[in-house]
A = this chain, B = another copy of it.
Amino acid sequence: MSVLQGLRRACQINPRGLATIDGGRRRTWSEFRERVARFGGVLRAAGVQRGDRVAILSLNGDSYLEYFYAVPWAGALVVPLNTRLAAPELVAIINDSGAVGLQVDETFAAMLPALIPNLTTVRAIWVSGSGVTPAGAVSLNAAIDATEPIEAADGSASDLYGIFYTGGTTAASKGVMLSHGNIVANAMNMLTAVPFDTDTVYMHAAPMFHLADCSATFTLTMVGGTHTFVPRFDPVTVMQVIQDRGVTNSILVPAMIGMIVNAPAIGEYDFRSLKGLLYGGQSISEAMLRRAIECLPACRFVQAYGMTELSPVATFLSPRYHATEGPDSGRLRAAGRAAPTVEIRIVDDDDREVPRGTVGQIVVRGPVVMQGYWNQPALTADALRGGWMHTGDGGYMDDDGFVFVVDRIKDMIITGGENVYSAEVENAIYQHPAVAMCAVIGVPDEQWGERVHAVVALKSGQSTTEGEMIAHCRQLIAGYKCPRSVSVRTESLPLSGAGKVLKTVLRKELQL
């Protein structure tokens, strides 16, 4: 059981149906498979061996989907890179993974001069698209055209499919190892929640490097539907693509849904093709849901909660519980119930299950749980202790099995669907000479769900401004991780007995 079984099934049940629509370029499932088999040959010819890693740094597009199948076709592992990371962060991850190959698109080809001198294991670089190929790289399309297809290097369910990095700085960054079995188990759970079939036209608008969108990738291929692409999210492009390509389904974060339903031009587009939107990472507010139902009347909403370590879905909140009135209403703040093959418990600090309604840590068991963190046996053993994945998320379960996520124990901020770990931002702020103490918290934000806010206590006699502090951070970490607002103060931050900043007190002070 490998993800390639899904590709073979698509080619068996819908060989003449469209696999990809990328701008004006359309390919059938038969054509797609032929390209994947040739791309596999390109990797093999470059010396990529079974178990090797091949990374990708690319916006959304058909070449990303080809990568997702060609790499396992050659027996290798995918390493999708977060396109919003800074060059030093990317270098650290690529080197940590030991990738021997790297695929970049035309957009990121410009970053190659900053990356190449620092890559320790990469031996081959391919540039997709038709633009100029920089020094040290080769044109992927030319290579595919010049290479004979190879036989697929099929593996078993327990073989690794890829390494998916979460977090950001080298220290915090963890490579989540997911097997083919993990990916297929998640795809099957998805298929029970979103009824994809050969008629589905799915829009990749959320970033394809992120496992949330990947979740649809493998599900849709398995049923032989059509993939279409928005290079990067932008509400107007998304509305145009939905209308022009008859998009039936997509996965978005609530912030993106908000940008669409609040777009001034929304009335100019026809969304009748849109049957289902899956969203995750955050709950949807009742106000936004009402507005979305008004704008997208044919659309059924599904919420998913999970994390990369869970391949990624743990719970689904089905369309039924997106009712704003009637017996099924009142569930909108829930993250949903366990996916069919997922087991969920809420446990205390000693891993004992707590009563319904009591807040504890959400832990998960089942075939979607990761194989571990790449080269991090201690972290792996801790996360998977007792056979359960410890999510680090706090939550409770009601009497009908609905899970409510109330807090992120790991203190992660989710802004526009991206995860930001406050410790990483604090590390950057602490590098400023004027800072005595700081704390980074997520504050509610209409557009982004949460935004990164920093509270900074200055050293005696020092001064700084909000703008200077943000600019300081921009030199060190990816833009989306930088604080969007900063409170600068001279008095100390509230501390616990152990000397940790009491963020709960801080939130109260800020009246959040």
Contacts and interface: CB of A to CB of B under 8 A. Distances in A.
Interface string A13-38: 11110000000000000000000000
A337 B367 contact: no
Contacts of A13: 337-338, 400-401
Interface stretch (A1-9, A206-214, A452-460): A1-9
A200 B242 CA distance: 34
Given A14-B400, A367-B157, A401-B13, A191 B340 contact: yes
The complex is assembled from copies of this chain, and their number is: 2
A399 interface: yes
A157 B185 CA distance: 13
Contacts of A329: none
A195 B223 CA distance: 16
A5 B337 contact: no
Interface in A57-91: none
A9 B184 contact: no
A487 interface: no
A504 interface: no
Contact of A222 (B8, B184, B340, B344): B340
A12 B401 contact: yes
Nearest to A401: B13
A98 interface: no
Given A157-B367, A400-B13, A401-B13, A341 B1 contact: yes
B341 A188 contact: yes
A9 B192 contact: no
Interface residues of A, number: 30
A343 interface: yes
A392 interface: no
A16 B398 CA distance: 13
Contact of A338 (B9, B343, B344, B400): B9
A5 B222 contact: no
A5 B343 contact: yes
Contacts of A134: none
Nearest to A224: B401
Nearest to A1: B367
A167 interface: no
A155 interface: no
A157 to B, nearest CB: 7
B338 A12 contact: yes
Nearest to A189: B188
A15 to B, nearest CB: 7
22 contacts: A1-B341, A1-B366, A1-B367, A5-B341, A5-B366, A9-B338, A9-B343, A12-B337, A12-B344, A13-B338, A13-B400, A13-B401, A14-B401, A15-B399, A16-B399, A184-B341, A188-B188, A188-B340, A191-B192, A191-B340, A195-B195, A223-B340
Given A8-B343, A188-B192, 5 more contacts: A12-B401, A13-B338, A14-B400, A15-B400, A195-B195
